[in-house]
C-alpha cells in the first residue's frame, strides 16, 4: 500500500484555508464571562454622557442651534440672629445648583450682618427648579462650622424672565426659618449654548472628609467666523452706572452693573431692585 506524505507546500496551503478572513467577531479574544461586564460599561458610558449633557444644561429645540438656560444669582447680604463663638464670625456662602457648587468670598468679622455682594452666573440643568444654600463660619484651626441653610424654589416670575429680589428665611440651631434672613437677586435667561463662558463646578467624593470641587468644561463647538452685522444687544453705559452709583454710594459697583444688565438697561426697574436690597 502506498501512503502519500504531504510536502511543505501542501501543509502551508492547508493552513491558509483555515485562516479566518474578514473582520474579527465581537467576542474575539474575550472570555465568556465578559459580556455582562461590557454591558455594564456601556450603561455607565451612556449614564456619563447623560450627566454631562445635564451639567451643560443644553436644550435642543425643534429647529435651530442648542439653547442653554442660565441663572444669575446675586448673594447680597444676610441678617443672622446669633453670633456663634467668642469672636465675630467670618461667614461665607456655599450654593448648590443641580450637581454644581459655587462659593462666595469670606466676609471677615461679618458677624450677624455679613455682606458679600457676590454675583454668580451658572447653568440651570433641565428639571432643576430650586437651589440649596448654606452659610458657614470660616475657622482657622478647626472645620468650618455650618451656621444656617435654606432650600429655595426658583420663583416662576424669574423663569418667565423677570428679575426677582427677596429676603429668604434661614434654618439653623434656632429652628426652621428663625435663624435669620438672606437677601438674593435672581434673574434667568435662555440663549445659544455656544455663549456659555462660566464652567460649572462638579462635586465629587474626595479621599478625605467632605467633597472636592472640580471644574467641568463642556465641549465647545468650533469657532465660527464673525458675522458682518451682529444682532444688537442691550448696552449698559458707564453714564447709567454712574448715575445709579450717585443714588446708592454704599452699594458695590459690580452689583449695580449686574442688576442693571439683568433689567436690560431699565433704569427705573434697577432703582426699585436696589431700593429693596438696601432696606
Note if the pTM is more than 0.75: no
Q: Are residues 74 and 211 in the same domain?
A: yes
Mean pLDDT of 198-204: 45
pLDDT in tens, 203-229: 444 333 344 444 444 444 444 444 444
What is the 8-class DSSP label of residue 233? -
Q: Residue 243 is part of a domain; what is its CATH number?
A: 1.10.8.10
Q: What is the CA radius of gyration of the chain?
A: 29
CA atoms of 103 and 120, how far apart (whole Å): 9
The better pLDDT of the pair 2, 18 is held by 18
Band of pLDDT at residue 134, cut at 50, 70 and 90: very high
With a cut of 60, say whether residue 278 has pLDDT above it. yes
Q: Are residues 122 and 249 in the same domain?
A: no
Nearest CA among 170, 186, 93 for reference residue 134: 93
pLDDT in tens, 6-36: 566 677 676 666 655 555 555 555 555 556 6
Q: Are residues 177 and 146 in the same domain?
A: yes
Mean pLDDT of 101-105: 93
Q: Which range of residues forms the domain containing residue 252? A: 235-279
Q: Are residues 258 and 168 in the same domain?
A: no
Q: Are residues 246 and 113 in the same domain?
A: no
Give burial (CB, 10 Å; 0-12/13-18/19+) of 276.
middle
Give burial (CB, 10 Å; 0-12/13-18/19+) of 249.
exposed
How many domains does the chain divide into?
2
Q: Are residues 240 and 278 in the same domain?
A: yes
The better pLDDT of the pair 200, 138 is held by 138
pLDDT in tens, 105-115: 999 999 999 99
CA atoms of 53 and 56, how far apart (whole Å): 5
Q: Are residues 83 and 126 in the same domain?
A: yes
Q: Are residues 126 and 162 in the same domain?
A: yes
Amino acid at each position: 500500500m502506498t501512503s502519500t506524505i504531504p510536502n511543505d507546500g501542501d501543509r502551508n496551503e492547508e493552513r491558509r484555508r483555515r485562516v479566518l478572513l474578514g473582520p474579527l467577531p465581537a467576542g474575539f479574544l474575550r472570555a465568556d464571562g465578559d459580556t455582562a461586564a461590557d454591558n455594564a460599561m456601556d450603561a455607565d458610558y451612556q449614564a456619563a454622557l447623560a450627566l454631562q449633557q445635564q451639567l451643560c444644561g443644553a436644550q435642543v429645540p425643534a429647529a435651530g442651534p442648542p439653547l442653554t438656560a442660565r441663572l444669575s444669582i446675586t448673594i447680597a447680604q444676610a441678617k443672622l440672629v446669633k453670633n456663634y463663638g467668642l469672636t465675630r464670625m467670618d461667614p461665607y456662602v456655599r450654593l448648590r445648583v443641580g450637581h454644581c457648587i459655587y462659593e462666595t468670598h469670606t466676609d471677615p468679622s461679618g458677624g450677624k450682618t455679613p455682606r458679600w455682594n457676590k454675583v454668580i452666573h451658572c447653568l440651570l440643568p433641565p428639571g432643576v427648579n430650586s437651589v440649596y444654600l448654606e452659610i458657614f463660619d470660616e475657622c482657622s484651626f478647626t472645620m468650618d462650622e455650618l451656621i444656617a441653610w435654606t432650600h429655595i424654589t426658583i420663583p416662576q416670575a424669574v423663569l418667565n424672565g423677570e428679575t426677582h429680589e427677596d429676603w429668604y428665611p434661614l434654618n439653623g440651631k434656632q429652628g426652621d426659618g428663625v435663624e435669620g434672613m438672606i437677601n438674593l437677586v435672581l434673574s434667568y435667561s435662555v440663549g445659544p449654548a455656544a455663549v456659555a463662558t462660566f464652567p460649572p463646578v462638579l462635586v465629587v467624593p474626595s479621599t478625605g472628609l467632605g467633597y472636592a470641587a472640580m471644574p467641568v468644561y463642556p465641549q465647545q463647538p468650533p469657532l465660527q467666523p464673525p458675522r458682518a452685522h451682529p444682532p444688537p444687544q442691550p448696552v449698559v453705559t458707564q453714564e447709567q452706572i454712574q448715575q445709579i452709583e450717585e443714588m446708592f454710594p454704599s452699594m458695590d459697583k459690580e452689583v449695580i452693573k449686574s442688576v442693571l444688565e439683568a433689567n436690560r438697561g431699565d433704569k427705573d426697574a434697577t432703582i426699585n431692585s436696589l431700593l429693596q436690597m438696601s432696606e
